[in-house]
């Protein structure tokens, strides 16, 4: 998300950082470029105007223009103002005083409500919460089946219509089951329409009054830009939203919805849908998002993803294996599986500070293909071969090649590069310098 906007703002701020002296004319010229970039990203014109005026009011002060690093001061102001625009602080879903916490998801048809309901369920399930999904979208026939499939995948309970034709009755039954079974969270998927209409709003308002949800989350397709903002305003006026979930944020088109929706509605963006899989849901942290938009990366989110996939104990065990030269192909496969749990390579790269431009030189699909091939080769080995690859002779290599759909030459390259990687890792862990080559998927397959 924001690839085009990040390129433009990142290049502009890089020029500003290198300036030892700035004048008001310099600031005005830079803000013209900021204004143009935001408008091209489909940020609402009133939001752009307010943003630019706010930055200028702070940037032309004596404390900035006469400081030793005026360029850096302006970059800091832009970052702070952008953070405030997105929402200042992230506000997660606070648990209700009396459980279960009831979430009601609303939005237009096609915005991704049903999948988002499952993603939120998975998000809180991973935090140890007991979650119930409620299929109250009876307007779209496939919605119930879709949510049933997701619930089965996640192994969470589901309340479905079961012959009931009134969505309100289904929602009430979900709340009753949540209370009876002492669950932590109940997530109600509601019906949508292709456009805002009186019937839809009345149905949702009636449901709200009957079940009294703790949170009403509006689900919007980020790719629709200003349409998402306008629809959010209409829902907010009728239902009083408490948060927004933007879906399909992995695309770059019309990414200004995120920057407009908070300012135009006063409702914070809680989550960002970043892909099709059920784990592709991120909490929206305004300060981190501002850093990513400005090309500064998002190291905190990267660290959190690492911590969620690697325990301290597993990391220490792996370090011991490396130091004692007991790191095997089986260990390597386990580490690859952990990395796959992080999400797409593109999402990881954009979190690393300073890698924005390098990311364009890396073909993520090729790296993913190489990782898949390496995993296929290792999986085609016997447990003994993974633990002691030196036993793999010519006939074994031919068998592994057939089993993995690769060639003997590719098996040879992997084994050779794995041995080199073990030596480098041992040198690195022992504190000795090591140079030449780079450790990574592309290196292993080169």
* Cα gap 91→286, rounded to integer Å: 10
Report the interhelical angle of 167-180 vs 198-211 (nearest 10°): 20
Q: Which residue(s) pair with 104 in the sheet?
A: 188, 216
How much is the pTM?
0.68
Please give the pLDDT value at position 172: 95
Question: What residues in the chain have per-residue pLDDT under 70?
Answer: 1-2, 18, 20, 68, 88, 91, 251-255, 295-319, 322-323, 337-368, 424-446
Instruction: Return the SS3 of 29.
Output: helix
For the chain, the domains span 3-86, 101-295, 303-444
Q: Are residues 209 and 238 in contact, defined by beta-carbon separation less than 8 angstroms? A: no
* Cα gap 440→417, rounded to integer Å: 10
pLDDT in tens, 96-136: 999 999 999 999 998 999 999 999 999 999 999 999 999 99
Q: Which residue(s) pair with 185 in the sheet?
A: 101, 131
* Cα gap 222→273, rounded to integer Å: 9
Write out the H or E segment, with its range, that includes residue 131: strand 131-136
Neighbours of 54 (CB within 10 A): 16
* Cα gap 327→256, rounded to integer Å: 47
Q: What does residue 290 show for φ and ψ, rounded to 5 degrees?
A: -60, -40
* Cα gap 216→403, rounded to integer Å: 51
* Cα gap 110→102, rounded to integer Å: 23
Q: Return the percentage of the chain with pLDDT > 70, whole number.
A: 78
Please give the pLDDT value at position 433: 42
Asked if 3-86 and 303-444 have one fold, the answer is: no
Query: In this structure, are strands 131-136 and 185-190 parallel, antiparallel, or unpaired?
Result: parallel
* Cα gap 254→39, rounded to integer Å: 10
Domain 3-86 fold is 1.20.120
Q: Are residues 282 and 272 in contact, defined by beta-carbon separation less than 8 angstroms? A: yes
Contacts of 100 (CB under 8 A, 6+ apart): 132, 175, 178, 179, 182, 183, 184, 185, 186
Neighbours of 134 (CB within 10 A): 31
pLDDT in tens, 346-396: 555 555 444 444 444 445 566 667 778 888 999 999 989 988 888 999 999
Q: Are residues 64 and 70 in contact, defined by beta-carbon separation less than 8 angstroms? A: yes
Q: Are residues 54 and 81 in contact, defined by beta-carbon separation less than 8 angstroms? A: yes
Q: Which of 13, 131, 162 is nearest to 74 (CA)?
A: 13
Query: Which single residue is written with the structure tokens 């149905």?
Result: 203
pLDDT in tens, 47-74: 999 999 999 998 888 777 777 678 778 8
Q: Are residues 377 and 414 in contact, defined by beta-carbon separation less than 8 angstroms? A: yes
Class of domain 101-295: alpha beta
* Cα gap 358→416, rounded to integer Å: 28
Kindly report the CATH number that applies to the domain delimited by 303-444: 1.10.260.30
Q: Which of 393, 422, 183 is nearest to 323 (CA)?
A: 422
Write out the H or E segment, with its range, that includes residue 136: strand 131-136
């Amino acid at each position: 998300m924001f690839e085009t906007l990040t390129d433009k703002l990142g290049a502009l701020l890089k020029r500003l950082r290198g300036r030892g002296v700035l004048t008001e004319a310099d600031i005005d010229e830079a803000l013209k470029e900021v204004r143009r970039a935001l408008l091209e990203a489909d940020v609402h014109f009133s939001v752009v105007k307010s943003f630019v005026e706010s930055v200028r009011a702070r940037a032309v002060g004596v404390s900035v223009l006469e400081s030793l690093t005026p360029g850096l001061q302006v970059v800091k102001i832009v970052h702070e103002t952008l953070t405030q625009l997105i929402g200042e602080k992230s506000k997660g879903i606070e648990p209700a005083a009396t459980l279960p916490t009831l979430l009601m998801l609303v939005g237009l048809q096609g915005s991704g409500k049903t999948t988002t309901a499952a993603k939120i369920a998975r998000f809180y399930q991973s935090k140890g919460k007991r979650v119930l999904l409620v299929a109250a979208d009876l307007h779209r026939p496939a919605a119930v089946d879709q949510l049933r499939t997701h619930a089965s995948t996640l192994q969470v309970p589901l309340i479905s219509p079961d012959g009931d034709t009134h969505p309100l009755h289904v929602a009430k039954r979900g709340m009753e089951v949540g209370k009876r079974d002492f669950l932590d969270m109940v997530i109600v998927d509601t019906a949508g329409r292709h456009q805002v209409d009186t019937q839809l709003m009345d149905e949702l308002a009636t449901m709200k009054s009957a079940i009294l949800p703790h949170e009403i989350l509006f689900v919007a397709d980020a790719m629709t830009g200003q349409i998402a903002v306008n629809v959010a305003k209409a829902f907010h006026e009728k239902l009083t939203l408490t948060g927004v979930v933007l879906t399909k944020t992995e695309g770059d088109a019309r990414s200004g919805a995120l920057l407009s929706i908070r300012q135009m509605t006063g409702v914070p963006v809680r989550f960002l849908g970043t892909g099709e899989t059920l784990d592709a849901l991120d909490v929206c942290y305004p300060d981190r998002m501002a850093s990513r938009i400005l090309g500064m990366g998002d190291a905190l989110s990267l660290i959190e993803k690492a911590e969620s996939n690697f325990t301290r104990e597993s990391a220490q065990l792996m370090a011991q294996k490396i130091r004692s030269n007991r790191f095997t192909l089986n260990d390597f496969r386990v580490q690859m599986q952990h990395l796959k749990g992080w999400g797409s390579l593109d999402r990881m790269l954009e979190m690393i500070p300073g890698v924005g431009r390098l990311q364009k030189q890396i073909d993520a699909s090729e790296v993913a293909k190489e990782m898949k091939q390496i995993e296929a080769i290792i999986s085609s080995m016997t447990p003994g071969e993974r633990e002691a690859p030196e036993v793999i002779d010519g006939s074994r290599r031919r068998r592994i090649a057939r089993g993995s759909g690769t060639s003997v030459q590719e098996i040879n390259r992997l084994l050779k590069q794995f041995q080199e990687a073990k030596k480098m890792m041992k040198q690195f862990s022992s504190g000795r310098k090591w140079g030449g080559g780079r450790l990574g998927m592309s290196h292993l397959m080169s």
